[in-house]
Amino acid sequence: MYYSNGTGALNSQTVAQLATPERLLFSSRSIAEVKESVGRVMKPHSLTVVDERHKLDAKMHFLQLGEVSLSRLTYGTSVEIQPGALEDFFLVQMPLSGHAAIDNGIETIDSSQELASVLSPDDEINMVWKPGVHQFMVRIPRTLVERTLVGVMGHQIDEPIQFELGFNWKEKTEWSKLIPYLVNYGIHADLVSKQNNLILSQLDQLVATCLLSCHKHNYSNRSSIKKTTVRPRHVRFVQDYIEAHLNESITSEQLAAIAGVSCRSLYSGFKNFVGTSPMQYLRDLRMGKIRAELLSGQAQSVTGVALKWGFSHMGRFSAEYKARYGESPSDSLRKA
């Protein structure tokens, strides 16, 4: 059975690589267990069985790639899902089979193998998955997409990023070829290896860049995004260095010395081409990693994960985390 149009996008072999016992997050017929398990890697939500003639028989396979995660989910029957606003992430849902009615409060689409859905963080989402629908999903943190767009445009964004709901992903070669690559890499790579930090960070960036370039959003037609400026070499070099050494002690003076420029030149380069300072860029990346670990269940404690990513003052860390995400780190950990 093929799930693609023959372009090598999402074929049965690719899907089978993800749907293995070691990637099985859960298999359950209990609606309470299903809600809790999906909510742990996505967000808490309302789940209602619509068609009582079919039994709930849900399965979810899951793969974490840096900040981005891939999953395959089916419920086995028709269900209504009401997560409300996703808040912290974008979600691309590509049906492998079947149909789903997706409503974001502005429009409703009939999502199928030909038409994916892209859920934006501020959308008020309501979905009805029909019997037999299997969704392949890509979860991308909001902060990752936002800082990627800032880097592309060269200045801060002035309103939330909003993608069109319907996504003809098979017509976009870059996206359709990227997905099987992500699966293949994630299955075969040692994702906990320190040597993979840089690769995973670049893959995260690639996913966000690819979605921004392939699918229409409210910044697509702005002249500033059409005139993308190539980042100077020293800025790109420092970004790569930061992403490869995220959990190490880093100072602005050290970054300037590594890049071979003055602190002032490095600061100006980041502000002009990334939209933020080097040290704030570092904090943003670290916060994104912490958020992903707390919500995915990888973290044993808030203190442990904060120290791991370079935050030693728990009071300041907790205050910054809550200001950024609207909840305390311990609240995020309890969701896992």
Q: What is the mean pLDDT of residues 54-63?
A: 91
Do 295 and 89 contact (CB within 8 A), yes or no? Answer: no
Of the options 3.40.50.1220, 2.60.120.10, 3.90.550.10, 1.10.287.130, the CATH number for the domain spanning 12-188: 2.60.120.10
Q: What is the pLDDT of residues 252-282, one digit of tens each?
A: 999 999 999 999 889 888 887 777 889 988 9
Quote the DSSP letter at residue 161. -
Share of residues in the chain with pLDDT > 90 (%): 46
CATH of 230-335 given 1.10.540.10, 2.60.40.420, 3.40.50.300, 1.10.10.60: 1.10.10.60
User: What SS3 class is residue 166?
Assistant: strand
Alpha carbon separation from 302 to 49, 239, 251, 331, 332 (Å, rounded): 35, 26, 24, 10, 9
pTM of the model: 0.69
119: left (phi over 0), alpha (psi -120 to 50) or beta: beta
- Write down the pLDDT at residue 190: 61
- Type of residue at 162: Q
Bigger pLDDT: 166 vs 200: 166
Beta carbons of 241 and 258 less than 8 angstroms apart: yes
Domain ranges of the chain: 12-188, 230-335
User: Residues 109-139: pLDDT tens digits?
Assistant: 999 999 999 999 999 999 999 998 999 999 9
Query: Which secondary-structure segment (H or E) carries 135?
Result: strand 134-141
Residue-level pLDDT at 236 = 86
Q: Measured between alpha carbons, how far is 191 from 208 in angstroms, rounded to an integer?
A: 19
d(CA 84, CA 22) in angstroms, rounded, equals 31
At residue 226, does pLDDT exceed 50?
no
Q: How far apart are CA 123 and CA 94, in angstroms?
A: 18
What is the structure's pLDDT at 7? 40
**Average confidence score pLDDT of the chain:** 86
Q: Which helix (H) or strand (E) holds 307?
A: helix 302-308
